[in-house]
Amino acid sequence: MEVKEGKTYLTVPHEGGKLTFQYPFFKGYFGDIVNSIEKAGLKKPNSSKTASLVYDAFKNPSGKYESEIIDIMNNYWFGEFTGNLYLPKSNEEVNNGVIIDNNPIIQNGKLIMNKNDLIKRLKENDSNVKFVPFGFKTGTQNLIELQKNHYIIARYGEEGAEKIAEIASKYKNNPYLWSFDSVDKEEVRLSALSRYRDFDIGLIVDGDSLSDCGNSHAFGIVK
């Protein structure tokens, strides 16, 4: 991890390039973090970018900044600004699964996921929008199952899925995917990542997060 102090910047490898986060982190409720990041002129990290930050921290877990990142993992939640729109089974063209948006609209601190707009972006092959039919494994799974999970790949990308599996390997218990197996109505949910000590499980990949969690943390990305 490269560190530039003054205003402190943390630079990590990401998808063949580099990604720079500004330190310190922001914390609180989802809307508060969004407002703070935008006020600072920074970008919000999605799931794959958060995975790159955490993955790099585990390469040097005793480092000053790396240990703080791991402490967040172990005691709080990393907010990932990736949206999940869960759809019930229906006669519509896209149904019975989840639409993932890695660059969702957030207005007044609220996640906006318009089904018609997302389906249009899917048809236009927008790389930020993916659809995963239900049937992917939820709950406890081993490292290989996590890495190959279609939902995990859609949310983090192939490289990010490998990083998530590697992060999960740092904990003695198997990872856990919090998500829906099915829904009776449309559900909009946030994404988060943690190994919250209050739960006796390994890495938690949360695709069922509500915006009222006050223990969320995030590092803004330098433009």
DSSP 31-93: HHHHHHHHHTT-BPP-HHHHHHHHHHHTTSTTSHHHHHHHHHHHHSEEEEEEEEEEE-S-SSS
Domain membership of residue 11 as a residue range: 2-218
What is the chain's pLDDT, residue by residue, as a tens digit (223 residues)? 887 766 899 999 999 999 999 999 999 999 999 999 999 999 999 999 999 999 999 999 999 999 999 999 999 999 999 999 999 999 999 999 999 999 999 988 889 999 999 999 999 999 999 999 999 999 999 999 999 999 999 999 999 999 999 999 999 999 999 999 999 999 999 999 999 777 778 999 999 987 666 789 999 999 7
Residue 223 lies in a domain: no
Residue 31 lies in a domain: yes
Question: How many structural domains are present in the chain?
Answer: 1
Residue 198 lies in a domain: yes
